[in-house]
A and B are shown apart, each in its own frame.
Chain A
């Protein structure tokens, strides 16, 4: 009988399984830290969430921060507002230029080319232009690839080729930056004095720069107000993009991670602004206007073109020309 009871008890025990262990005798045992009777206060958790840094041995002190939420803000701004605005503006401005071309057409020399040339930019000026412009083209293309390539080029090229191109582009971007900065110095030194406000500028603004109506040619000296705006934009924005770019090129040299995030946003946003301006500049210098592009290639432009667009400048140049040349 006793045997039967023992067997029955065992059987019940096997069927029902081991009695659930009470928590305080198993996993609840605390081997270490909390033995101090110190409860981790909610403030500690909140501090961690808000970026509290602690002691870290054997590794850079900056790694002592447990959670940096600014990274999420940077991601949201870069992938969100920055990419969306920059994308739509690039599309919008390109479309606006195309529409302008369709409506207004190529701005022609009204009298037709005279066949007589005038030196518009010396060799040094052309070098200054292309030092800035050439490096800017490389910087613009590789920079936009950094922001948009993953969505635009990668699906077409495939990951491996795209990654290789982006890697090459990154190095080109790094190197071109220095040529661009050198270009900024050169063009500032060459052209700053020609880009100061003069008495013809107001007339040029009132006349819409002659862009809107055929046959309207407000007089201008070496540079008109549009070119001056472009020039100071390049100098000002170019300097800001260069200085933020240097910070990105040598990460953590001057600033911490949060500075890097802000620098990246400023750098990218201003660079896009610059690209937008330069789109207009390239348009008017090439397909948008007859006779303009040779100013920065051979250095010479047709006298008819120069008289229409830079009447004051032509007069000045002709005044100094020896009569025998006529």
Chain B
């Protein structure tokens, strides 16, 4: 039994068998090949060589046109390596004589040759081993590609183990309904995979640094999304303990069910508007069932994902209308698409590829200003969907006033266009911004002259205030929502909004953190918006605290210098 501590990304307990998602650093396992299948295994290897040869030909053509003949010669060397008896003969010999799988045989030969190269003292020749590994990797990829069981084809329930999960993987996880939970090397509490896990309610532990190398396919695993722990090959005793704990969580969950429809009011009668975060794939039945105070954040970017062109007005309108109708009399805040450079290229629009630092790059409103047609389409769809007069529009990634003025201009253009099409916008949706850049936070008073409400997106705000890339495992532990700088800046926003009599909400991770949210409410935030799966849990927390106590605590933490002190003060106030 091995216990690994990571970051708790999504609560819950999963017990099951590991399913490893292979990546560039492919885990190669030795497999015994039965005698009657050896011929087929050799053929599989030869096919992979053929495929690699074709890949190299294609690559050479590309290099010839882009870089010229001199560079294409490198590919000739690769072709020769591919034909090298070390690869063609030695690997085949290993497969036949030892009865092992092709990947394993190949990696053995590569390792051995690599080790021979290591002995060379002449750096020039020593460096040649990279060519060998480069070709070797190409062959291995062609071998495993055919073997990979994609997540959408899973036959039994599994726990997914990966170095990192990509949006396409999470899509498959959602569709497969076979993934009990997941753990991965990278990531932290606010990375997209964690948010994804929370939204579909499966336990997840991330930021485990090298777990994908420690777990083998089919290993028994326990994922404890509360403690942020992964247990590899647990003892029976531990499994039993966790099964009991899982039962207890289920009971707690059924207790929370009783809070549906009950207002979120503190013990001493302070009302908090508690809304839900959703995206276009959220289950409308679940949303209706929760009886929320509305939707505080409708992430529309999922409408734009995994497709070749942006969604048209009709499709967008249908998506917004179905949410607006589901929450009916309650508010729904639609955030215009917060998409970044690389995704846009997929959409067939000229964007920026491979930005050095996409979080500081062309995303959110910055992108829409460059492509106003996309903004116009989305606004048109929103206006047309506002039949219940319950929609508000929120603009992401705003950092200067001119951006919001631009949006307002586009709004009036769009309204005129709609009018000429015979559609009069009777219900003009309130306009707000997502406060996620320090610039917007510090000048929020100026913004509030132009807009109707603000919502603080703490995930990004924290990373911009602290200059910490939350995806970067080397610094992610510095990502700290309790940092006094963060809390003071949030207070600046709340104070400014209160002075102007405007609504301020929080829709980031902090809003559902059982400790941090008490500071937010204490500082005077009007509403919180949280993932649906955590909705009742947060409501339970709100109902159990005293507003008087947490507001005096909130004032006191503003004067503190260290996040440890802040946390202590919060715990003390909640006693």
Binding between chains A and B = no
Chain A residues close to B by CB (< 8 Å): none
